[in-house]
Amino acid sequence: MTEKKRTEPDWQDIRVFLALARYGSLSAAARALSTNHSTISRRLHSLEATLGEKLVERRPEGYVLTAAGTHALAAADAMESAVHTLGRGPSDGAPRGLVRVNAPPGLSQGFLVARLARLPLQHPGIDIDLATDLRAVSLERHVTDIAIRLGRPQDGDVLARPLGRMGFGFYGLPALCERIGNGEQPVFIGFDEANAYLPEAVWLARHHPRARVAFRANNQVAQATAAGAGVGIALLPHYIGRSAPGLRQCALAPAPPAREIWLLTRGQDRKDLPIRTVVDYLVEAFDAERALFDE
């Protein structure tokens, strides 16, 4: 029997296209799918041949979507969401599907994990993928469905909702804070060299240029743990400092200005029930604990 020529897209080809569209390079897509470069390239060419369209272009900065690729990405993302709901039983009007959330490491580890982990218990059809990244990720490429960012967003076609303001202070063990209050020179805990560009790291270096930084870590939850060991004081968001066992805020001024917290989603997802459910949940969580963040 002669094999019928395939005219419908292959799901595995679509998965590869999604990964390449989201991450922008063969190597990153290969890592995400635990495969190799040649497989990524072969499946991409297979999908382009099936659709009769060029979906991506290779440029020095990586792979970018063509107009056809942008259109295909939205459809492929919807297909992926549908696949995630298979096997969960008949639809009963409840939100179902995977929702990807991206936020900075400190905010994820120090606040979001404990709150978002409760959401699938309230909505058994929703799965949460919480990823952390110090740099902004792309909503347009569908790397994430919900992005939580610090500072007013500059993105284009996105819906942006303010979640509140993040205040800062210096935190340490009570005895150490008392000695600093009596005139002892502070020893600090700060960001590692790879993250010295972050606003809090830059602010600390500018205002205390000659101070000793005895311990460095790449996120503020780890810095709070170090402060609990007594090695120094850490410049922390209040939501971390106020929640860390044994720490208290030191009477050391000034502190950096508060930063705005924003929640971003794609405009096209405003009616997506799972995404909207997670957005509403996050807005309520931040509103309920506003005192934890405020100055």
3-state SS, residue 108: helix
pLDDT beyond 90 at 28? no
**pLDDT value at position 74?**
78
Both 146 and 212 in one domain: the answer is no
Both 150 and 284 in one domain: the answer is yes
Residue 91 domain flag: no
Q: Which residues are CB-contacts of 39 (< 8 A; sequence separation ≥ 6)?
A: 16, 30
Residue 6 domain flag: no
Residue 1 domain flag: no
Number of domains observed in the structure of the chain: 3
Both 153 and 270 in one domain: the answer is yes
Both 32 and 159 in one domain: the answer is no
Both 63 and 193 in one domain: the answer is no
Both 158 and 263 in one domain: the answer is yes
Q: State the average pLDDT for the chain.
A: 87
Residue 108 domain flag: yes
Both 148 and 187 in one domain: the answer is no
Residue 92 domain flag: no
Range of the domain at 233: 168-249
Residue 254 domain flag: no
For 204-247, the pLDDT digits (tens) are 999 999 999 999 999 999 999 999 999 999 999 999 999 999 99
Both 210 and 234 in one domain: the answer is yes
Residue 237 domain flag: yes
3-state SS, residue 105: helix
Q: What is the mean pLDDT of residues 38-57?
A: 89
pLDDT band at 289, cuts 50/70/90? very high
Q: Please, what sign has the CA dihedral across residues 171, 175, 176, 182?
A: positive
First to last CA, the chain: 74
Residue 43 domain flag: yes
Total-model pTM? 0.75
CATH label of the domain that carries residue 205: 3.40.190
CATH label of the domain that carries residue 277: 3.40.190.10
Residue 274 token pair: 């799972």
Are 208 and 234 contacting, i.e. CB atoms less than 8 angstroms apart? no
CATH label of the domain that carries residue 28: 1.10.10.10
